[in-house]
A = this chain, B = another copy of it.
């Protein structure tokens, strides 16, 4: 909306940290942008940016101000979507920050279902580790966060939690492929592949072993779950994943997934959350509702 242009600009400058760079992104000249900032500072009676030789940075007045205008901007989005809802059309945008496990199957499926009903709603899906996803809520980069074992900031308001047991994924030719459930000590007899540290699965497994003398020695470590999953097929390694990151029906040909005994690795939790105290735009609220129901049905 037009009357929010200045504060949208300022939001962008605060994110980018440079007036000239932000001006490029916003497709205006740095002059115009600079003047808008000076005008706002004039109105507030106080500068909101520190001028550094390499750009600008919010000072504490700026922190307060920008925090407020981000609320204002997303509130306005909500209002627009409420108004649009009145006239029957649902439009809007849903922005999601989520863990890697949600990307391959769960979210694409859910978004497809939703968009079939409401084609005017657009989506943004952003891969963030546990900490960054929560941060994205705070700075309004995302409306929803779907995170495995989050840090749980004070600003994070849980909508739903879902238990997720860790599974071992391996080739169907693997010696352990026929076990009903896997014991961790058995797995560790074989080469293993693990996600890197910030990810929830790795975190859970290290937590499980913290009291024992055992150390995780992955032959493969990667921050790509997809790579890890594929690698179980090409080499006889065991990878680890949570059910939501696995196909709903059947594991791809040639690989199997077996639960790790709960005595060895406890279940983790996926959290769906939003920024505390925020009233979500209609489209977002509805989507949150949909995936909440889907998860409740799927994981009792």
- List residues of A whose CB falls within 8 A of some B CB: 1-7, 39-40, 43-46, 60-61, 64-65, 68, 71-72, 75-76, 79-80, 82-84, 86-87, 89
Partner of A83, one of B3, B4, B5, B64: B64
With A46-B87, A72-B72, A72-B75 already in contact, the answer to whether A39 and B2 are too (CB < 8 A) is yes
How many identical chains are in the complex? 2
User: Which secondary structure dominates chain A's binding surface?
Assistant: helix
A6 — nearest CB in chain B belongs to which residue? B3
Query: A176 CA to B227 CA in the complex, in Å?
Result: 103
- Is the beta-carbon distance between B60 and A79 smaller than 8 angstroms? no
Instruction: Please measure, in the bound complex, the distance between the C-alpha atom of A79 and the C-alpha atom of B6, giving whole angstroms.
Output: 16
- Which residues on B sit within 8 Å (CB–CB) of A86? 46, 60-61, 64
Most B CB contacts (10 A, CB to CB) among A3, A6, A72 go to A3
A75 to B64, CA, bound (A): 12
Asked whether, in the complex, the Cβ of B75 is within 8 Å of the Cβ of A87, the reply is no
Q: Which residues of B contact A89 (CB under 8 A)?
A: 45
Residues of B within 8 A of A4 (CB): 3
Contact indicator B60/A2 (Cβ below 8 Å)? no
> Which residues from B are CB-within-8-Å of A3?
3-7, 40
